[in-house]
Amino acid sequence: MSFAEELKGRSLLTLADYSKAEIAYILELADKVKQKKKNGEMYEPLKGKTLGMIFEKSSTRTRVSFETGIYQLGGMGLFLSSNDIQLGRGEPISDTAKVLSGYLDGIMIRTFSQQDVEQLAENASIPVINGLTDDYHPCQVLADLQTIKEEKGKLEGLKLAYIGDGNNMAHSLMIGGAKMGLDVAIAAPKDYQPKTKITELAKSFADGTEVIVTEDAAEAVKNADVIYSDVWASMGQESEQIEREKAFANYQVNKDLLAYAKEDAIFMHCLPAHRGEEVTADIIDGPQSVVFQEAENRLHAQKALMIALMG
């Protein structure tokens, strides 16, 4: 079976469900659609198709990249804020899934619980794409892998260090990185480390590479090719901001920490960023930062994903 046949109709809930070869196929397709866009070539393989986009949390990149992405592919996106659809008034996810399956060709959802996304996918007869939960952010990591490949010319054999909260980004980077042959080191304070179950899962995908979780940021960054950071308080954790600022004080990506990395290391961040907290302005706005290329690649990577799943 070809990858196109293999992926058609599938959902993306976490990269754990995708093989290395399937992820590589999507990344290659992402490069192709990016090139077509740069060449000004019309490419509309999803003509007439619709993507519903359910948002229970805020978004700039995910919303705009999915909505313009489906439009550029010939289809249409519908922004479905959970405040405006009956889901927000208690209509069951399973009913929502069945109803939307009758209208749409795909659903993207950003919400809190991963179980809700799983329930949506179980009850939908169309592909469901995870646009971020408290546990995972797989679409971001597809764009991240595309960006790393563009910058370094390869993925295998590189070391990625993630500094900060053991959150959705840490989880998805561990899984995506381990699958694609990168060493992944996560540095997080003791009480904010990634979930043990997800760390073990990521380790099970590592084939001759390492997945390390440590409290020592300098150790994680040592010899890294990619330094990654994310906010200290994620969406839904705003009330913990002050206590988190204290807990994460030694986990800021700054000049001193970056000195442990390789000289040609790149800095990445899923954005939105808080300058002066998880990263200093001189780093995120400096020559090693690729954050805006990374943000742009959300568009290209997700177009490839939609073609693969909904084409």
- What residues are annotated to the active site? 110, 137, 140, 230, 270, 298
Judged by CB under 6 A, does residue 59 bind ligand CP? yes
Closer Cβ to ligand NVA, 105 or 230, answer by number: 230
Closer Cβ to ligand CP, 61 or 159, answer by number: 61
Contacting ligand NVA within 181-220 (CB under 6 A): none
User: SS3 for 258?
Assistant: helix
User: Cα separation of 127 and 100, whole Å?
Assistant: 11
**Residue type (1 letter), 126:** I
Which residue in 37, 112, 271, 282 binds ligand CP (CB under 6 A)? 271
Q: Tell me the per-residue interface mask from 251 to 270 with ligand NVA, x by CB under 6 A, - otherwise.
A: -------------------x
Q: Nearest 5 degrees, angle CA 211-CA 237-CA 164?
A: 30
Judged by CB under 6 A, does residue 169 bind ligand NVA? yes
Q: Nearest 5 degrees, angle CA 270-CA 208-CA 223?
A: 55
Contact 293, 146 (CB under 8 A): no
How many chain residues touch ligand NVA (CB under 6 A)?
9
Judged by CB under 6 A, does residue 60 bind ligand CP? yes
User: Cα separation of 219 and 51, whole Å?
Assistant: 43
Given the structure tokens 């998805």, which residue do they identify? 172
Closer Cβ to ligand CP, 60 or 94, answer by number: 60
Judged by CB under 6 A, does residue 147 bind ligand NVA? no
Instruction: Give the Å distances, CA to CA, from 82 to 52, 55, 89, 112, 175.
Output: 12, 6, 9, 12, 29
Which residue in 11, 50, 130, 140 binds ligand CP (CB under 6 A)? 140
Binding partner of 60, given ligand NVA, ligand CP, none, CB within 5-8 angstroms per partner class = ligand CP
Contact 75, 105 (CB under 8 A): yes
Closer Cβ to ligand NVA, 147 or 168, answer by number: 168
User: SS3 for 30?
Assistant: helix
Which residue in 11, 16, 30, 61 binds ligand CP (CB under 6 A)? 61
Which residue in 234, 252, 289, 302 binds ligand NVA (CB under 6 A)? 234
Judged by CB under 6 A, does residue 168 bind ligand CP? no
Bridge partners, residue 285, by sequence: none
